[in-house]
Structure 1
């Protein structure tokens, strides 16, 4: 009998910049170590601003330059079922963490944490939103997310004994 995969959900506000970036970067790292069947990855937003839309073009361009695919991702909003389906829900900033904790049911099984603070604190506690800035903001977000994703993968491998 096979074990269920470890499930990770990345969350930002609109699910078009930061959380799909984390989703795509982490997915590539998981695939590179041959663990795609052991770790399930998704992303969502706390707000429904962009449901059904692909990631921001600037995120996609930055990803493509780094050999990361994200064109297949589509924005969705967090729902209550996510707190039972996922093992770990990682917010990109304190506002989204607060939103998640406010909607988290008392009997939820998911751990809800800040992605950067818990996996790359030397880069700060939050992944900044690059939406209103220039290309350098997207590059910075990718740099932060890549470091945090490597450490997240180490953490999950330790948790599942892989």
Structure 2
């Protein structure tokens, strides 16, 4: 019997310091809790160059600590990921436009969509909490939990 290749998902937002690292950490915890982390390759990235090599926003780190979700990430830009990931899930419309444009130039094999596209509460966009407060990061966290659970169920 052939070994099963891991599934792969890349979470993307504008800076890779707020929303996408939260989604990455949430999804990683979900697959770890279900004992299927060996079946997944998980990462996150940015569409811009603003925050490359910076750690996640401290408010997002505090939020994840509060929910006991481990995280170890430094911001990185989307590059060769179009050909190496099965799914690229972004947080909003501007990232979706960027990814679709870049994906068409780069031999894209990934399915590109907005993370909240199948979200039952119909909150398609995960708003950037960067200029907000702790409660905005909690809102992003809760959205990511719902959306990541739905994505995991759909992709199994």
Indicate whether the TM-score tops 0.5: yes
Structure 2 equivalent of residue 53 of structure 1: 54
Deviation at 1:151, TM superposition (A): 0.9
Counterpart of 2:125 in structure 1 is 126
**In the alignment, what sits opposite 2:146?**
147
Report deviation, 1:69: 1.1
Q: Give the paired residue count.
A: 154
Give runs of ≥4 in structure 1 deviating > 6 Å. Answer: none
- Tell me the CA shift for residue 22 of structure 1: 0.1
In the alignment, what sits opposite 1:44? 45
CA positional deviation for 1:3: 2.0
Kindly indicate whether residue 100 of structure 2 is the aligned counterpart of residue 101 of structure 1. yes
How many Å apart are 1:122 and its aligned residue? 1.2
Cα offset, 1:121, TM superposition: 4.4
Q: Tell me, what secondary structure is at the counterpart of 1:47?
A: coil
Superposed CA RMSD:
1.1
Flag structure 2 segments of 5+ consecutive residues without an equivalent.
none
Contact residue 123 and residue 144 of structure 1 kept, 8 A: no
Residue in 2 that maps onto 1:113:
113
CA shift at 1:143, angstroms? Answer: 0.6
Q: Distance in 2 between matches of 1:123 and 1:69?
A: 28
In structure 2, distance between residues paired with 1:58 and 1:83: 30
In the alignment, the residues of structure 2 paired with residue 50 and residue 66 of structure 1 have an alpha-carbon distance, to the nearest angstrom, of 25
Distance 1:20 1:123 in 2: 22
Deviations 1:18-41 (A, max 9, x none): 000000000000000011110110
Cα deviation 1:62-110 (Å, max 9, x = unaligned): 000000011x11100001x211100000010000000111111364211
